[in-house]
Structure 1
Amino acid sequence: MVAKNQRVEAQGSESPLTIQYIEGTGWRTGVLVDASPGTEVAPALMPTHGEYPIYDTALYDAMMADAERNWRFREALEKHARDRIVLDIGTGPELFWAREGLRSGARQVFAMEAMESSFRTASQTLAGLADGHRATLLHGESTALEIEPKAEVCVAEILGSLPGAEGAAAVFADAKRRLLTPDAVIVPDLCLTQAAAVNFTDLFAGRAPAFSDAALPQLQRLFEWNGGPFDVRLRVVNPARQAVISDSAPVERLEFNGDLQVEQDADVRLTMTRPGTVDGVLTWLVMRCLPDQEPLDAMRGKTNWASIYLPLFDNGIPVEAGDVMNLTFRTVLSEDGIHPEYDLTGELHTATGVHRARHFSPYRSNAAHRHPVYRSLFPE
C-alpha cells in the first residue's frame, strides 16, 4: 500500500519534523520525516536500495547521470573491449554498459538482467539498436545463467553505497569460475569499503536526523519485499564532512582482478583526530576501474554513491584527539549465498574507560528497532 498522507507533528524539535505512516499486509510503521525543502548539497537520509529489487526509473536515471562513475567505466571498456566478448551483468532497462561495450568495439556482448520489468524494457531497447545483432539479452540472475563462448571482459556496476552489499564479491567470483575465460578482465578493478568514526546527529549539519520525503516510497517497497519493517541500512547523502572525527581505514577489499574474497574479516584501529562524541561508523566507497586510474572516493567526489551509517553505541561517547577505537568488521554471506551481512564490534578506549558495542546488519530480517537510532527514526 502507498504511504499514507496522515501527518503527526513530532514533539521536542525545532526542525519541521513529522511522523508519516506506511503500511502493508500485517504491518504498519511510523517514519520520522524532515518535510522541509532540501537542496542538492544538503545532507539527506534515505534507506539503502542497491542490494534490493526496488529499482525504478528515477534510481536508474541517477546512476546513468553519474559522470564521476561513468568516465572511469568507459575508460576501462575503451581499453579492453575492442574485438572481445563482453559480459554485462545487471544491464538495466537501457542496456547501459552493454551499449558502451558495443560502442567500444566489442565483437559480441552478452547482457544479463534479473528484474522482470527491467528485462522487458531492455528487450525493447535492444530491438532499437542498430548494432543490436552483436548483443544477446538474457533474463535471470547471472549465477543461474550460462553463456557460450565465455566472455573475455566482464563489466557490472553492482557496487552499493556500502560497496559489497549488492553481492559483487559472490557474483564476480561465480562469473570467474563459470562465465569468463581464465585471462578475462573485470571492470571495475578494485573497490574498498572505507570506515571512520562519527556521531549520527553530526552528519546532518545541525538538522535533526530524519528521512527525506523521497525515502517514503523506497521504504514502502523495501518493507513490502521483506514482509514487514526491519532495520534498513541508513544511506546518508551529502554527509557533513566535519562529522568524521577519526582517520579512516579500509574494512572490506574487493580485488576483482586479483584475490577476490567472498567473506572477509578486518581488524582496524581508528584514531580520533579531534574532540567530540562517537556513536557509530560511517562507511563509503573508494573504487577504480583500471590499476593506474584515479580512484573515485565517494566522500570527496560528486557521485550517486552515498555513505552508510552503522550504529554501535546506544549513546554518544565523549572522545579526545588521540583516543582510539578498535573496529572489527566481518562480512558473511546471507542465506541466499549472494548478499553479505555485516557484523561490527567496536572497542573505544577513552579517558573514562573502555566502551564496547556490537551491531549486526542483516540483508533481511523480521526484527526491528534494535538500536535507539532506529527507534527514533521509526516511532510507534
Structure 2
Amino acid sequence: MTHYIEGTGWRTGVLVDSSPSTETAPALMPTHGEYPIYDAELYDAMMADTERNWRFRDALEKYAHDRIVLDIGTGSELFWARESLRSGARHVFAMEAMEGSFGAASQALSGLPDGHRVTLLHGESTGLAIEPKAEVCVAEILGSLPSAEGAAAVFADAKQRHLTSDAVIIPDLCLTRAAAVNFADLFAGRAPAFSGAALPQLQRLFEWNGGPFDVRLRVVNPAQEAIISDSAQVERLEFNGDLQVEQETNARLTMTRPGTVDGVLTWLVMRCLPDQEPLDALQGRTNWASIYLPLFDNGIPVEAGDVLNLTFRSVLSNDGVHPDYHLSGELHTARGVYRARHFSPHRSRTVHNHPIYQSLFPK
C-alpha cells in the first residue's frame, strides 16, 4: 500500500507493508542514529537494550571509579552519565547536541541527588571544551552501520582535545561485517516494503533534509537464510588503538549456496572490554539492526563457490563528522563477471537512484 508524506516543497509516496506483523518478523525501517530525529520511543528502545547495556556497564564498573568521565551524546535521560555516577565516577561531563534532548536532560539533572557531580553541556563534542580533561570517555554513538553516527571522527577529536593521554574509551572495538544477499529474500516471503512505524521517522528525516532522499535501509530481524555467502570484515574501529577516521577495505565474499545476489547486508560487532564476549547484531537481540546496501540493479544468479570482490570505503562528508560510503563490487560467476557501484551519502537530495528505491518510494 502506498502512503504519501509531504513537507514544504516536497511530497513522496512510501510503500508500506500493511499486513499483520509480529515482534520477530523482518521489518524495513530507515536508519536514524546518524540524524537528529530522536524521540522518546527511540531513547526508550536504547535504554531497554540489555545486550548492549550490560557490556557498557561492565566497562564503567572497571574504569569509572574515582575518575572524571566524559559522556558524549548523553541523551534526554543522561543515561550513561547516571551509570557513570553509579560506578563511582568523581565527576561527569555530559554533552548533548539536540535542543529538545538537552532541555529534557537539564530537567532530569535537576532531579538527581548527586547531580552536582555532573556538568551538562549543550553542543557538538567537536565544538565544546572541558577542563580538566577526562580519564574515561563513554559514548553510544554507534549506528546499525557502525561508523555512520560519526564515532571515528568524534572519538578522534576527543582523544586530541578532551581526554588524558592514558584515557580509556568505551566501547573498545567495533567492526562492520558484510555478506552477500538478495534484498527481497531478507523478508521471508513478504514483499519488501516499509513498516508502518517507519512513516514518522521518514517524515522527520525528510523535513531535516529539506526533502526526500535515498535513505539507508535498516532491516530488523532479517531472514538468516537470505545470506548466501560467508561474511567478511569491511571496517574496523579501534577506539583505544589505531583509530582510522577514513578507511578502505577490500573483502572477498564466497557464495556458500545457489541463489541470487543484488547487494550486501552489513551489521555491527562490538565489545566494550578487550576480554568481553562481543555483541553480534546479526545474532543477538539488540536495538542495533542490519543495513542493506544495494549494488546490482537486478539479482545476479550465483552458485556455491562464486566470488564477490567487495571494496568498502568510508570518507568524511561535508560536515567533517559523518561518513559517506562508497561500495564497488565485482561478482565472478560461471556466466561472467558483473560489476557495480553504490554511493551512500550522509545527506543528499538524490532519489530513485536504484530500482529498489524506485519501488519503495513510488511517484
TM bracket, shorter-chain basis: over 0.9
- Measure the CA separation in 2 of the matches of 1:100 and 1:80: 12
Is 1:193 aligned to residue 176 of structure 2? yes
Partner of residue 312, structure 1:
295
Segments of 4+ moved more than 2 angstroms: none
- Note if 1:41 corresponds to 2:24: yes
* Runs (5+) with no aligned partner, structure 1: 1-17
Letter in 2 for 1:341: D
- Correspondence 1:331 to 2:314: yes
Q: Are residues 1:279 and 2:262 paired? A: yes
| Counterpart secondary structure, 2:131 | coil
5 Å matches for 1:1-380?
Answer: 18-380=1-363
Q: For residue 328 of structure 2, what is the amino acid of its counterpart?
A: T
Separation (CA, whole Å) in 2 of partners of 1:93 and 1:29: 31
Partner SS for 2:126: helix
State the match for 1:15 in structure 2. Answer: none
**What is the total number of aligned residue pairs between the two structures?**
363
The letter of the residue matching 1:177 is: Q
Shift of 1:37: 2.3
Counterpart CA distance in 2 for 1:205 and 1:140 is: 42
Aligned equivalents of 2:356 and 2:103: distance in 1? 39
Residue 36 (structure 1) shift? 1.6
Shift in Å, 1:317: 0.3
The SS at the match of 1:211 is: coil
Q: SS of the residue aligned with 1:153? A: strand
Tell me the percent identity.
83
- Tell me how far 1:363 sits from its aligned partner: 0.5
Map Cα deviations across residues 102-129 of structure 1 (whole Å, 9 max, x no partner). 0000001000000000000100111111
In 1, the alpha carbon distance for the partners of 2:212 and 2:110 equals: 40
Could you say what secondary structure the match of 1:242 adopts? helix
Q: RMSD between aligned alpha carbons?
A: 0.4
**1: CA distance between counterparts of 2:285 and 2:3?**
31
Q: Matches of 1:25 and 1:337 in 2, distance apart?
A: 27
Q: Give a deviation string over 1:318-353, Cα, whole Å, max 9, x none.
A: 000000000000000000000001000000000100
Deviation, structure 1 residue 162? 0.4
For 2:16 and 2:350, how far apart are their aligned partners in 1? Answer: 22
Q: Unaligned 5+ residue runs, structure 2?
A: none
Deviation at 1:264, TM superposition (A): 0.1
TM-score normalised by the chain length of structure 1:
0.95
**CA distance in structure 2 between the aligned counterparts of 1:48 and 1:128, rounded to whole angstroms:** 33
- TM-score, length basis structure 2: 1.00
- Where 2:36 maps in the other structure, the secondary structure is coil
Give, in angstroms, the shift of residue 367 of structure 1: 1.3
In structure 1, what residue type is equivalent to 2:181? Answer: V
For residues 207 and 172 of structure 1, what CA distance do their matches in structure 2 show? 40
Quote how far apart the aligned CAs of 1:163 are: 0.4
Question: 1:209, CA displacement in angstroms?
Answer: 0.1
Distance between the aligned counterparts of 2:200 and 2:282, measured in 1?
A: 26
For 1:11, the equivalent position in structure 2 comes to none
